[in-house]
Amino acid sequence: MNTIISLSKRAVAISLICSAVAVTSPVHADAQTDSMQRAMLNMQNQIQQLQDKLAESQGQIEELNHEKNLLAAENEKLKVQLSQMATNASAPAASAENTKVSADEKNQTIAMKTELGGGNATLSPAKKGTVAKATLPSVPADAQKLYQESYALLNKGDLNAAAKGFKSYTTKYSGNALTPNAWYWLGQIQYKQNKFEDARISFLNTAKFKESDKRADALYKLGVTSKALGDKEKAKKFFDVLIKTYPNASSSALAKKELQSL
């Protein structure tokens, strides 16, 4: 910002000098004026470039803040789950009937097609302005442990190890309450590593879970990833679906700004 202000002041100064030269030195006025005008035009171009970079940086800052908020929310969610697990561990043994019901719930499965290539997945939007009620099966203790370990690696910045953990999770546990989250964070890592096609597939798998609170953010990242892959039309479609389906989501505000730049 200071650089833009400095260049603006220099451009004004050159303009004033041009006027003075025209009055005091008629003989050389034309040549000097042309030279200074070229210099001023060059600085104006630099100002415009810096303004464009500033706008891009502000957009990146907003997205980073959004990701930071997502990480904070995920941390709180994991704390609650750990607390619930501790409470359940210290609770009296369940009756045989309740144990059977719990086992039946854990044995529920959700058919999910994992896209290995291409791009023909169809996403059915949830009811406008709402997020579908969570109905995914509960998370077994061993799955919870793997997810927490992978997420801890992500927080430490060990992206390769975290990606390996989340990928393992989606393979072993293809349809419980944390599966869409694992797909989402796997996609985030792949996006940061510029593996845009892999990231697109991971975000598609996230978005297929209409019950997940990660679906809105996955739609946003599908738009951003499509843009990075050079497919602006598909990016627009994902942003439009996000805005229409989740108008109050924070990611929708980011999607609106992305649409303005497309």
Query: Tokens in use for 156?
Result: 């430490």
**Phi, psi at 239, each rounded to 5°:** -65, -40
Which residue from 164, 224, 172, 175 is spatially nearest to 199, judged by alpha carbons?
224
Look at residue 167 and tell me if it is in a domain: yes
Is residue 50 predicted with pLDDT exceeding 60? yes
Examine the domain organization and report whether 55 and 137 are in the same domain.
no
Examine the domain organization and report whether 45 and 170 are in the same domain.
no
Look at residue 52 and tell me if it is in a domain: yes
Q: How confident is the model at residue 107 (pLDDT cuts 50, 70, 90)?
A: very low
d(CA 83, CA 86): 5
Structural contact between residues 206 and 218, judged by C-beta atoms closer than 8 angstroms? yes
Examine the domain organization and report whether 135 and 235 are in the same domain.
yes
Examine the domain organization and report whether 55 and 138 are in the same domain.
no
Look at residue 74 and tell me if it is in a domain: no
- 212: helix, strand or coil: coil
Examine the domain organization and report whether 52 and 159 are in the same domain.
no
Is residue 111 predicted with pLDDT exceeding 80? no
The helix or strand, by DSSP H or E, that contains position 200, with its residue range, turns out to be helix 196-207
Q: Please give the biggest Cα pair distance in the chain.
A: 105
Q: How confident is the model at residue 34 (pLDDT cuts 50, 70, 90)?
A: confident
- Give the residue from 59, 80, 109 where a domain finishes: 59
Examine the domain organization and report whether 163 and 262 are in the same domain.
yes
d(CA 103, CA 105): 5
Mean pLDDT on 202-219:
95
pLDDT single digits (tens) 62-96: 666 766 677 776 766 666 665 655 555 454 443 33
Look at residue 232 and tell me if it is in a domain: yes
Helix axis angle, 179-192 to 141-156, nearest 10°: 20
**Phi, psi at 133, each rounded to 5°:** -65, 135
- Tell me the pTM: 0.60
- Give the residue from 59, 77, 100 where a domain finishes: 59
Is residue 170 predicted with pLDDT exceeding 80? yes
CA 97 to chain centre: 43
pLDDT of 51: 64
Instruction: Spell out the residues 6+ positions from residue 260 whose beta carbon is closer than 8 angstroms to its own.
Output: none
Look at residue 67 and tell me if it is in a domain: no
Examine the domain organization and report whether 33 and 139 are in the same domain.
no
Query: Tokens in use for 184?
Result: 């989402």
User: What CATH number did the domain enclosing 254 receive?
Assistant: 1.25.40.10
pLDDT of 91: 47
Domain that holds residue 219: 131-262
Examine the domain organization and report whether 217 and 137 are in the same domain.
yes
Look at residue 25 and tell me if it is in a domain: yes
Which residue from 146, 210, 148, 217 is spatially nearest to 188, judged by alpha carbons?
217
* Number of domains the chain is built from: 2
Instruction: Spell out the residues 6+ positions from residue 36 whose beta carbon is closer than 8 angstroms to its own.
Output: 14, 17, 18, 21
pLDDT single digits (tens) 223-244: 999 999 999 999 999 999 999 9
Examine the domain organization and report whether 42 and 136 are in the same domain.
no
Examine the domain organization and report whether 252 and 138 are in the same domain.
yes
Look at residue 103 and tell me if it is in a domain: no
Which residue from 148, 150, 141 is spatially nearest to 85, judged by alpha carbons?
141
Examine the domain organization and report whether 152 and 253 are in the same domain.
yes
Examine the domain organization and report whether 149 and 230 are in the same domain.
yes
Look at residue 230 and tell me if it is in a domain: yes
First to last CA, the chain: 25
pLDDT single digits (tens) 120-141: 344 544 444 444 445 788 899 9
- Give the residue from 59, 76, 109 where a domain finishes: 59
- 229: helix, strand or coil: coil
